[in-house]
Amino acid sequence: MTLLYTCKHCGTEIGKLRPQMLDLEKIGWNVLSTEEKNKLMNYQQNQTVTLQSICEDCQHLLDQNPQYHELDYFIQ
């Protein structure tokens, strides 16, 4: 399987993981949403599972502009 991390704000591909074994701590299992956990639990062999995260650019932007966090919630 391939884990594909994309930024939920700008859609940038952050990184790919092809774990031989699924290390739940390494992929950030604790911070995944229930929906993402379900996707992982139901993955097929050779399937790409997309996980949403935040890229460095957006993280930096949010750090500089804390009010964007509120905007993000508003959009969702």
49 binds Zn ion per the rule CB under 5 A: no
CB 2 within 8 A of CB 49: yes
- C-alpha dihedral (40, 26, 7, 39), degrees to nearest 10: 0
Work out how close the CB of 35 gets to Zn ion at its nearest, in angstroms, rounded to a whole number.
20
Binding mask 6-45 for Zn ion (x = CB under 5 A): -x-xx-x---------------------------------
Alpha-carbon distance 50 to 58, whole Å?
18
55 binds Zn ion per the rule CB under 5 A: yes
51 binds Zn ion per the rule CB under 5 A: no
